[in-house]
Amino acid sequence: MENKNENILEISKELNVSREELFKAWTETEQLKKWWRPENLQLESVENDINPQGKVKYIFKTTEGKDLTVEGEYKEAIKNERLVYTWNWEIPEASTEDGHFTLTILFKENNGKSILDVKQEPFSTHESVAIHQKAWETSLQELAAYLENSKSSNSSSGNSVHDDKNTAGNRELEEQSKVGGYS
């Protein structure tokens, strides 16, 4: 995505999953925790009320054990299509003047693949855009790797994992399993 305003960050990523799978990876707590680690932070807690005026809150843990929080409010929420929300970093002992943003996230589909468009604004300086651009690129690479691993795990285990009661030879009714005195 072309950046027409130097103090607005826009980034796009094509992914080999459906738009619905991408939306779930972006919004479901357990999936987020598996891929989203900006700047090597560990996502510890997620509050995500995906409705207009719903709250979004992420608490990250640093390698030193400190909490960093991002909070905001959904302005728009259209499942599998579009999320617009405020994005405010609360970092102890740091100036967060450049930490209040609006994120616009678009989930698109093209030829069986999905396209994620991220727009973050406003930034006070072009340098801030560059720093955040690098962080988003890394995060979206981690998202792509997570989705690819999930996809290959699901396809490789698709029919090879069975519940004992559903595997061939074990589909008998309870009374059939007692034939010959065996139970």
> What percent of the chain clears pLDDT 70, i.e. is strictly above it?
76
User: Is the confidence at residue 143, as pLDDT, over 60?
Assistant: yes
CA neighbor of 155 nearest in space, from 14, 17, 13: 17
pLDDT band at 2 (very low <50, low <70, confident <90, very high): very low
To the nearest 10°, report the CA torsion of 79, 83, 11, 95: -150
- Would you state the structure tokens that stand for residue 97, as one six-digit string? 């003047």
User: Is the confidence at residue 44, as pLDDT, over 60?
Assistant: yes
Is 144 in a helix, a strand, or coil?
helix
Question: What is the distance between the alpha carbons of residues 110 and 124, in angstroms, rounded to a whole number?
Answer: 34
CA neighbor of 77 nearest in space, from 57, 44, 103, 58: 103
Place of tokens 């259209």: 78
Give per-residue pLDDT as tens, 54-100.
Answer: 999 999 999 999 999 999 999 999 999 999 999 998 866 655 555 78
pLDDT at 40: 86
Averaged over 15-28, what is the pLDDT?
97
- Give the residue ranges of DSSP H helices in 29-82: 29-35
User: Is the confidence at residue 176, as pLDDT, over 50?
Assistant: no
CA distances from 151 to 5, 20, 49, 116 (A): 36, 13, 27, 17
User: Is the confidence at residue 158, as pLDDT, over 70?
Assistant: no
- Would you state the structure tokens that stand for residue 30, as one six-digit string? 């357990």
Q: Is residue 54 within 8 Å of 71, Cβ to Cβ?
A: no
What domains are defined for the chain? Answer: 9-36+78-151 (3.30.530.20)
- Would you state the structure tokens that stand for residue 43, as one six-digit string? 């996502």
